[in-house]
Amino acid sequence: MIVITDSCVGCAFCKIVCKEFAIDVLGRAEIDRDRCIECKLCIIYCPLEAIRVVE
Ligand code: SF4
Ligand code: SF4
């Protein structure tokens, strides 16, 4: 499962790169689990390493 951590500052880079439109940013990023296919692209692009994979 992909999760957003407290390090997120809401820059929205992850929202821009997500091809599934699974991220919305309202102060902090939030992931729509019904849309997310766990491609991990957002993890690569987050400048603050605020996105993680947890089991
Ligand atoms: S790219 Fe990282 S810091 Fe920016 S909104 Fe997404 S999770 Fe937050
Ligand atoms: S893992 Fe992929 S599909 Fe899921 S939120 Fe990140 S970029 Fe979007």
For residue 40, the ligand 2 atom closest to its alpha carbon is: 1
Q: What is the CATH number of the domain that holds 47?
A: 3.30.70.20
In this prediction, residue 5 carries a pLDDT of 97
**Where in the sequence is the domain holding 20, given as residue range(s)?**
2-53
- pTM listed for this prediction: 0.94
In this prediction, residue 17 carries a pLDDT of 98
Mutate to test the pocket of ligand 2, among 37, 43, 44, 49 (most ligand atoms within 8 A of CB): 37
In this prediction, residue 7 carries a pLDDT of 97
Domain count, the chain: 1
Is the dihedral angle over the CA atoms 53, 26, 17, 6 positive or is it negative?
negative
Show the ligand 1 pocket: residues with CB < 6 angstroms.
4, 8-14, 25, 29, 46, 48, 50-51
Q: 25 CA to middle of ligand 1, Å?
A: 8
Which long-range contacts link 50-53 to residues 24+ away (Cβ below 8 Å)? 50/4, 50/5, 50/6, 50/7, 50/8, 50/9, 51/2, 51/3, 51/4, 51/5, 51/8, 51/14, 52/2, 52/3, 52/5, 53/1, 53/2, 53/3
pLDDT one-digit tens code per residue, 1-55: 999 999 999 999 999 999 999 999 999 999 999 999 999 999 999 999 999 999 8
